[in-house]
């Protein structure tokens, strides 16, 4: 079933969008950042954007390089955190202003955290009834660990893989702040890791795959989504447990790559699933303009 998902995230609000920018509230702090998909006009005047923004990001150049600088207009909260609650899942995450305009979370992904939590709870409850060990999840390109936290909150053991030391440390902090445990931390190129896991014959009951358009591994390994995604999916198909209830979550952020494309690529490699969901993740601003922030495909065996 194809649909747009918007999570209920009380500590996040998309205030206004347009003219290739977005104005957002994270907790009590408001940021102004570039947004290439906000092709329409703003609803609020420039004076209101300036009045509300506590920090504004400006790119160094107009090319493909997204690095830049933040201008601060107010003191950053210490610590700057947001809370996300869903049922019995209570996550707390630290934020920060990075040189690539990110702040440490992608709020739209909370819709996937809900899915991961629900599906993992089903697997955990079944394993407890049958006297089996807790399910294992694999979170690839795991960043600061929202999906890792969701899996741990549900009772799974989660292998968290990212090639950047600083964000793995950040994810550890988020896990501790949330009062959770159960994560295994791997700082390595994701494709190299899954190749080795295939050779070892390991299996996971859930896989979360959140690849960037471009990236570099710990040893300079080059990742290009269009060139490497098929091999990554082929490896993940061998790693995903064949039992009922095993699941895959795939996110795509590259502009021009649709949810239908993601579905077609996964179905060719994994086969037809018992449950399929695909579409876009996004938020409406206060004026009702809906900003798409990525595509997703989710399947359950």
C-alpha span between 203 and 120 (Å, rounded) = 15
Q: Tell me the pLDDT band of 221, cut-offs 50, 70 and 90.
A: confident
Kindly state the average pLDDT of the residues 101-111. 97
Rounded CA-CA distance 86/9 in Å is: 9
Distance CA 26, CA 287 (A): 18
Structure tokens at 127: 């394993």
| pLDDT tens-place string over residues 151-184 | 999 999 999 999 999 999 999 999 999 999 999 9
Helices (H), the chain: 46-52, 110-129, 146-154, 165-177, 190-200, 225-239, 259-270
| pLDDT for res 220 | 82
Q: What is the DSSP letter of 28?
A: T
| The token pair that represents 179 in the structure block | 């009062």
d(CA 57, CA 68): 7
* 180 three-class SS: coil
What pLDDT is recorded for position 257?
81
Residue-level pLDDT at 214: 82
CB 38 within 8 A of CB 17: yes
pLDDT at 253 over 90: no
Q: Looking at residue 277, what is its pLDDT?
A: 96
Does residue 64 register a pLDDT over 60? no
Q: What is the pairing mode between strands 183-187 and 157-162?
A: parallel
7 phi and psi, to 5 degrees? -75, 155
Q: Of the candidates 90, 94, 72, which has an alpha carbon nearest to the alpha carbon of residue 82?
A: 94
Question: Of 235, 232, 299, 229, whose CA–CA distance to 271 is shortest?
Answer: 299
User: For residues 138 and 208, is the Cβ–Cβ distance under 8 A?
Assistant: yes
Q: Is the pLDDT of residue 68 over 70?
A: yes
Q: Mean pLDDT throughout 79-94?
A: 97
Q: How far is CA 23 from the centre of its chain?
A: 20
For the segment 255-270, what is each residue's pLDDT rounded down to a tens digit? 678 999 999 999 999 9
pLDDT of residue 63: 56
Indicate yes or no: pTM above 0.85: yes
What mean pLDDT, rounded, does the chain reach?
A: 95
Domains of the chain: 2-72 (2.60.40.1180), 101-300 (3.40.50.150)
Beta bridge partners of 300: 247, 275
Q: At what angle do helices 110-129 and 146-154 cross, to 10 degrees?
A: 30
């Amino acid at each position: 079933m194809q649909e747009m998902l918007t999570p209920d995230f009380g500590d996040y609000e998309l205030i206004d969008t347009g003219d290739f920018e977005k104005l957002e509230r994270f907790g009590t702090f408001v940021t102004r950042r570039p947004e290439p998909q906000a092709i329409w006009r703003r609803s609020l005047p420039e004076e209101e954007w300036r009045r509300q923004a506590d920090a504004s990001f400006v790119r160094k150049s107009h090319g493909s390089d997204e690095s830049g600088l933040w201008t601060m207009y107010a003191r950053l909260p210490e610590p700057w955190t947001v809370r996300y609650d869903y049922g019995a899942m209570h996550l707390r995450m630290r934020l920060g202003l990075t040189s690539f305009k990110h702040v440490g979370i992608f709020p739209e992904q909370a819709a996937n955290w809900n899915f991961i939590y629900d599906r993992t709870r089903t697997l955990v409850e079944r394993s407890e009834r049958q006297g089996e060990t807790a399910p294992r999840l694999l979170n690839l390109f795991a960043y600061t660990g929202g999906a890792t936290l969701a899996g741990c909150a549900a009772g799974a053991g989660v292998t968290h893989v990212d090639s950047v030391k600083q964000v793995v440390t950040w994810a550890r902090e988020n896990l501790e702040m949330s009062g959770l445990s159960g994560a295994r931390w791997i700082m390595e190129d994701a494709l190299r890791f899954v190749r080795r896991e295939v050779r070892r014959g390991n299996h996971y009951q859930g896989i979360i795959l959140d690849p960037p358009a471009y990236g570099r591994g710990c040893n300079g390994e080059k990742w290009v989504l269009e060139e490497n995604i098929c091999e990554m999916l082929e490896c993940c198909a061998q790693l995903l447990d064949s039992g009922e209830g095993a699941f895959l979550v795939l996110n795509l952020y590259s502009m021009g790559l649709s949810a239908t494309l993601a579905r077609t690529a996964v179905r060719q490699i994994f086969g037809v699933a018992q449950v399929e969901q695909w579409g876009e993740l996004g938020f409406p601003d206060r004026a009702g303009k809906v900003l798409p922030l990525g595509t997703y495909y989710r399947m359950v065996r």
